[in-house]
Chains A and B, each alone.
Chain A
């Protein structure tokens, strides 16, 4: 039963009761992210106010890690400037690759709950799906 800590309450809560998993009808940016090999699918929807992410949501289907990670991400980036959100995405990917410093991990607040995935190579792509879709959407 050693993975009780891995599928921790933060992760399972965001998976079962996501705050941002709904259809944002007046989104300005809509982008789909897919992991073809496992079928994880996330449609990211963002509403921009100039340079600031005014609102955001996602719809999709996939494993707990991919869905919870996207939900946590939206909670963190709404209200932030584009550059800040991209920086968070870069730091998150760094953490999942096991390359982030303690300080950087701390800056990821709730998303740091996913840091153990750096020890699970097969699940890395699940964890970063929402974040890489966000980065792609914002850099377009």
Chain B
């Protein structure tokens, strides 16, 4: 593991050193599960595409367009290696995780789910891995089933076994909960799904920034991720799908650059992955994502995980010491993936975040796009602090100091 000077690392993030946003220690960004910050190399890569290689990729035969195509296709290769896919044909660029999952829902779900079938989701899903399946089951007349989670955010595999049956066509599950930070045993769930002939769709938006993804080892059928959550640009996401399955699927969107030939009334679609990339693509975004992957490889998951665990533990231990605070999910910092969702007795989450904002700490208050999970936890909304390796001990201490004053500042005893 390479060791880094954290202050030097933070200097690579323009937002942390931009005078307009204050100095590094002036403002604690603890909303990383919503979107990460981006290092300069990512922003530069996106800009460089427009400054040096801009042409419409995959179209022109002049050198500039070939260059643009290279940048775009190299990014695809980079993603393929990053998640250990078999081939670049399995990597489809989308806008984000939501679009990736919608692609699967429309192009696979609607075609392969019938009236007497079942789709299984977990109670922990972000709305982006729930609403598409509500749509599929409503349109097809199939049944949407839920696997509940235990108090610590874990899934009881015996309960899950009972829920996956011959009727199950799709199991859609998040790799890491964006509320509890719990990591789901995707590999084991994939095995259970496959035993019953179902496919598994994994929402990897929250896992990819924090842990090595190996789609071959996990043996998942679909895996969706967002660039902006893993230091990359907004507006670029990925759908990984097994080639044999993608090959049989119909396009999601139809239009430019996804065809072999078109006649008046018919069209022959292009090969994978272009079949699923209608219209001009986000090549600059792909270049930025490529740079983000290279950035993560330079830092290494080992270093990131060690720091994240240290910071999470510091925050979790500190919160536990403050009276009237409940942290949701596991007692063990290791099972939080940097995400701490909590409540303060009597104080509404929006008031908690307002107090933190006054102390220059950015957290998220609300339902975190996971309303069914919050209902299950018995709350309307919560406050969430989410950490990244680039956060500092000073920021965590500032957060804890502020948290200790919340009740008093809201007019309650300590």
Contacts and interface: CB of A to CB of B under 8 A. Distances in A.
A39 B368 CA distance: 12
Contacts of B348: 62-64
Contacts of A6: 354, 358
A123 B350 CA distance: 9
A3 B381 CA distance: 22
A66 to B, nearest CB: 8
A6 B359 CA distance: 13
A16 B367 CA distance: 23
Interface residues of A, number: 22
A61 B355 contact: no
A1 B405 contact: yes
A136 B347 CA distance: 28
Contact of B359 (A1, A7, A37, A123): A1
A126 B350 contact: yes
A37 B351 contact: no
Interface residues of B, number: 21
Contacts of A109: none
A133 interface: no
A61 B411 CA distance: 18
Contacts of B357: 3
Given A3-B355, A37-B366, A15 B410 contact: yes
Contacts of A2: 358
Interface string B173-199: 000000000000000000000000000
B376 interface: no
B380 A3 contact: no
A140 interface: no
B409 A13 contact: no
Given A12-B411, A61-B380, A3 B354 contact: yes
Q: Which of A9, A15, A39, A61 has the most CB of B within 10 A?
A: A39
B303 interface: no
A61 B350 CA distance: 12
A64 B347 contact: yes
B351 A63 contact: yes
Contact of A16 (B350, B358, B359, B412): B412
Interface string A25-53: 00000000000011100000000000000
B358 A3 contact: yes
Interface of B: 346-351, 354-355, 357-359, 365-367, 380-381, 405, 409-412
26 contacts: A1-B358, A1-B409, A2-B358, A3-B354, A3-B357, A3-B358, A4-B409, A6-B354, A7-B351, A7-B354, A7-B355, A7-B410, A12-B411, A15-B410, A16-B410, A37-B366, A38-B365, A38-B366, A39-B366, A39-B367, A39-B380, A63-B349, A63-B350, A64-B410, A120-B354, A123-B354
